[in-house]
Amino acid sequence: MDHPAVEVSGLHVSYGSTPVLVDVGLVLPAGAGICVTGENGIGKSTLLRCVSSLQQPDAGEIRIFGGEPGDTPEFWRAVVTTVEPPTWYPGLTAREHAELICRAHGQDPAGAGLDEAFERFGLAGHADAIPPSLSSGQKQRLTLILALIRPSSLLILDEPEQRLDPDGKAAVAAMLAEYLTTGGSLLMASHDDAFAAASGATVTTMDSL
């Protein structure tokens, strides 16, 4: 039997004496998409950080494809997260970052569709730019190209539509919908229900988890 992509139960997180997540549970079946919504500060990023193994909860259980999330190569081969902002390598262009990610995942950059990806994300004219020189929306587009260009089984995205203009949002939503139809699983947080629907994700409010 296939394991769910994500299973969370009894999750508790407090910052100091302030509880943020109290007995939170979530099941994301493999091949499905869930978008968590909810008011600012309700704990969406905290939940995604825990699922991404970037933060230890105070209590509760998290399983990713049946296994423990953690700093193993197997986990990071399956999971891509944009919960933490990316680190840019000094002196490498946007395109060279994408080539590096391809090579790290055993892909030949020449056959990985980089030109198409930069075109689809409206960054074709900026492929030779150094990432820190890009605008905030262009950096967000590059972050998503780097997330989507490599093979993965689970995408964990924190407000991927942030800072994108309407064309950018539509392009990203279409790529996420494609990711789901090809068997990928998607867990994201967003305040944009229309974007979530266009991405093929089911919207769940944080209150109900």
Ligand X SMILES: Nc1ncnc2c1ncn2[C@@H]1O[C@H](COP(=O)(O)OP(=O)(O)OP(=O)(O)O)[C@@H](O)[C@H]1O
Can you give the binding site for ligand X, defined by CB under 6 A? 15, 20, 38, 40-46
Helices of type H across 57-153: 73-78, 94-104, 114-120, 136-149
Element containing residue 25 per DSSP (H, E): strand 18-28
Write down the least CB distance from residue 133 to ligand X, Å. Answer: 26
Nearest to ligand X of 97, 169 (CB atom): 169
Q: 27 is written with which tokens?
A: 């099941």
Element containing residue 14 per DSSP (H, E): strand 6-15
Write down the least CB distance from residue 102 to ligand X, Å. Answer: 31
Q: Does residue 160 contact residue 172 with C-beta atoms inside 8 Å?
A: yes
Backbone φ and ψ for 132, nearest 5 degrees, come out as -60, -15
Please tell me the distance from the alpha carbon of residue 179 to that of residue 33, in angstroms, as a whole number: 10
Write down the least CB distance from residue 15 to ligand X, Å. Answer: 3
Nearest to ligand X of 44, 169 (CB atom): 44
Write down the least CB distance from residue 208 to ligand X, Å. Answer: 14
Nearest to ligand X of 101, 188 (CB atom): 188
Nearest to ligand X of 99, 158 (CB atom): 158
- The one-letter code for the residue type at 160 is P
DSSP structural state of residue 67: B
Nearest to ligand X of 26, 112 (CB atom): 26
Write down the least CB distance from residue 156 to ligand X, Å. Answer: 13
- The one-letter code for the residue type at 153 is S
Q: 26 is written with which tokens?
A: 């979530």
